[in-house]
Chains A and B, each alone.
Chain A
Amino acid sequence: MSLTLDTAVSPMAAPPAEQGYWRSVFARLRRDPVAMIAGLILLAIVLMAIFAPWLAPQSPYSTSMLSRLQPIGSPGFPLGSDELGRDVLSRLIHGARLSLLIGVMPVINAFVIGSAIGIVAGFVGGRTNTVIMRVIDVFYAFPAVLLAIALAGALGAGLVNSLFSLTVVFIPPIARVAESVTTQVRNVDYIEAARASGARSLTIIRRHVLGNVLGPIFVYATSLISVSMILASGLSFLGLGARPPMPEWGLMLNTMRDAIYVNPWVTVLPGMMIFTVSICFNMLSDGLRSAMDVKL
């Protein structure tokens, strides 16, 4: 997916929810070298985030006025130092925690909320469906970036506000996908049969619907993580997300921008990280999509 969230959703055939299905998905995924490499890189970055305190050579906060703006390869500063003399390598490693968190959390939140909204709308159908989907449509009148910035800008700078804004941005597209998948599944014979036999709606949703719709919604949601990473760090870059002195890639990009004439190549490193994570998520999501045979 791009920064655009245009869900040209063509409803898909719901995959059968069997044990063997997931096994075959993983088998196919393993044969996809691009997805595997992307997955491994992501795994490495996640491990780096988890073990940051042990991996980072220095504290991400310790400043040294005498060693400000060191270039790449300086003794003690393998990737240079920033405007306060902090070790850029250590800050990049620690930055993975916050950057991944603010990039991935909104999609997880939106996955939970958006799926719930979409599945209910799709399952209940009728007027309820229309009302819910029309409200969702209003959000489609805003390009994603604009919506995120409008919300974050109005609420004011801060991590919580930026998480909230991005969650709001991703709920509508996920809800739309969830709704269209559910609507399709609803009309499948065995669900009709379950209904006819008088089973409760919740039971039907849990037993028959969820297993069939969550897969496609999940694949779609993974494709949003890349956008979310870029937007979350973008908000920090604008000064609307993480606050100094937190190590976060977008914010690092912002604060080091003033040194673009002194230390240009150190300045671009945090962006490199955002790019790597973003492209890996995209490739993994593409691989997952073809492995699960989901058409979006």
Chain B
Amino acid sequence: MVYKKIAAALRQARRAAAVTVSLTVLSMSAMADGQVLRIAMTASDIPLTTGQPDSGFEGYRFLGYTVYDALINWDLSSADEISGLTPGLAESWEVDEEDTRVWTFTLRQGVSFHDGSEWNADAAIWNLDKVYDEDSPQFDARQAGNVRGRIPAMDQYEKVDDHTIRFTTREPDAWFPYQLTFLLFSSPAQWEALGGDWDAFAREPSGTGPFRLTRLVPRERAVLEPNADYWDADRVPRIERIELIPMPESSTRTSALLSDQVDWIETPAPDAIPRMQSRGMTITSNPYPHTWPYQFSMLEGSPWRDINVRKAANLAVDREGLEALLGGLMVPAAGIVTPDHPWYGEPEFETRYDPEEAMRLLAESGYGPDNPVEIKVLISTSGSGQMQPLAMNEYIQQNLAEVGIALDFEVLDWESLFPNWRRGAEDPSSRGAHATNITFGWLDPFAAFYRFMHSSMAPPNGFNWGYMDDPEYDRLLDEARVTFDQEAQDAILAEFHTRMVDDAAWLWVAHDVGPRAMQPRVKGFVQAKNWFQDLTPVYIEE
């Protein structure tokens, strides 16, 4: 407590000093005052600030987990360990052993929203109605649209007492806690105070998170300031002010960083990184749950139905060469998850570069450089998480041509490729392609495996684009889904993943490492192995 007061006093003093300085320098520009961190995001607009952000995971990264909390948060404190879950607005939770569809959550006490109102079971239920009850006054279609698809298991919810709520899922689902990390809680009191208007709430939002949003200029800037009363004292932000600026073009971000208009940019263009380094910029990176694959079509007539072709493709790609092409900003992939992950298992088939073996396998199936396998792939020109799609695909095209697989690309823009994912290989918009090249995140088993590999997820239900239908896959996934013991579940998933790698079910190419570039004065950032990052330990060294 005493410490906190001293810290606050110090902060006060520093702020006063900053004011004097900026006055003397005649408000040269924002860069004069020290404790401001200006971040250039890749989004073209400020993500939605009312609670459930849009703009994908970047929205959650900067305007979700900063201003708000979920019942269960991601633990983003380590750069070495794979991020796990940690209690957020719920102190604990348990699944009913009799009926595994029922989950009871004990809410954290003593937490208040930024406006001072109390976090309790009523606030929780109010927020659930906000996205699930179309008849409730606080129902918000935008927020509902942003979050409902992320919690497929949700069925019912109810208040038990002031600090306990209960959920019932559609069917037993051990992955429900992962899904709840996407449900964020806004302040009912603030919404009431603003006349029940979500637009007004967007400008003056109130959550429970470590940051408060103090200013919003649509399309241009969002300003975050610390919530000094954050319930987790270890995560009270060190920085005084964060300015979030949308900059969708990578050359613009590069130029903004080099000319000191911003302190931190997301996904710098790999080609510009040497220039940034030569100007003393810090480049951070760390592999995170992301995979860059070819997802195969298993429809009648697809060459991928032949396991020799699948294995040959995996053996023909020179992933080290690709890594060099990307300036080291990727990790070669040997499966959907990385080999250090508990779900990886112990496959016999080694995803390595071995063109001779690839040619041998193809010859076994009657193919060769003179009689190549002809395969059509849907690729995009750009897109969220797609890395350098054109360059990488052309590289793979060269690699595969050498062993006797002739790739033909159908180049789409990201806005067309992505919706095609759910439509599937049979849809006319797939133009008869045999594979699609869409990158994705695998934070939880549903996102990593189930939605692609389970036969029930074939279009239009999920992302089983290529109509994968393997009873053994289905059995293992179904079993994992109802195994509530974490270690036992991991073991089943490892068995599943082993089988999938041995099958060479997809072509696995790369994992992204999430590069960021920042001014050398930005300190304290620990890049977690995650899509989300913690901004609270960051500070500016003066």
Contacts and interface: CB of A to CB of B under 8 A. Distances in A.
Q: Classify A-B as touching or not with yes or no (CB < 8 A).
A: yes
Interface of A: 63, 65, 68-69, 83-84, 157, 239, 243-245, 257-262
Given A63-B394, A245-B411, A258-B250, A83 B271 contact: yes
B269 interface: yes
B73 interface: no
User: Which secondary structure dominates where chain B touches chain A?
Assistant: helix
B500 to A, nearest CB: 29
18 contacts: A63-B398, A65-B325, A68-B391, A83-B271, A83-B391, A243-B411, A244-B381, A244-B390, A245-B411, A258-B249, A258-B251, A258-B269, A258-B271, A261-B251, A261-B255, A261-B258, A261-B269, A262-B275
Contacts of B391: 63, 65, 68, 83-84
Nearest to A63: B394
Contacts, number: 51
B478 to A, nearest CB: 42
A124 B429 CA distance: 49
Contact of A259 (B271, B395, B411, B413): B271
Contacts of A243: 411
A194 B271 CA distance: 72
Say which size band chain B's interface belongs to.
20 to 34
Given A69-B271, A157-B413, A244-B381, A261 B254 contact: yes
Interface in B352-406: 381, 390-391, 394-395, 398
A256 to B, nearest CB: 10
Interface in B76-90: none
Nearest to B255: A261
Contacts of A63: 391, 394, 398
B251 A257 contact: yes
Interface of B: 249-251, 254-255, 258, 269, 271-272, 275, 321, 325, 381, 390-391, 394-395, 398, 411, 413
Contacts of A69: 271
Which of B255, B271, B381, B413 is most buried by chain A, counting CB atoms within 10 A of its CB? Answer: B271
Contacts of A259: 251, 269, 271
B294 to A, nearest CB: 18
Contacts of B390: 83-84, 244-245
Contacts of B398: 63, 65
A153 to B, nearest CB: 13
A239 B414 CA distance: 12
A65 B271 contact: no
Contacts of A157: 413
Contacts of B271: 68-69, 83, 258-259, 261-262
Nearest to B395: A65
Contacts of A83: 271, 390-391
A271 to B, nearest CB: 15
A83 B382 CA distance: 13
Contacts of A245: 390, 411
Contacts of B321: 65
Nearest to B409: A245
A262 B273 CA distance: 9
B296 to A, nearest CB: 24
Given A84-B391, A244-B411, A262 B325 contact: no
A210 to B, nearest CB: 45
A84 B394 contact: yes
A2 B344 CA distance: 63
Which of A83, A243, A258, A259 is most buried by chain B, counting CB atoms within 10 A of its CB? Answer: A258
A257 B251 CA distance: 7
Contacts of B413: 157, 239
Given A63-B391, A84-B390, A261-B251, 20 more contacts: A63-B394, A63-B398, A65-B391, A68-B325, A68-B391, A69-B271, A83-B271, A83-B390, A83-B391, A84-B394, A244-B390, A245-B390, A245-B411, A258-B249, A258-B250, A258-B251, A258-B271, A258-B272, A261-B271, A262-B275
Contact of B394 (A65, A239, A258, A261): A65
A152 B321 CA distance: 40
Contact of B272 (A68, A84, A244, A261): A261
A63 B272 CA distance: 20
A69 B325 CA distance: 12
Contacts of B251: 257-261
B265 to A, nearest CB: 12
Contacts of A257: 249, 251
B185 to A, nearest CB: 38
Contacts of A239: 413
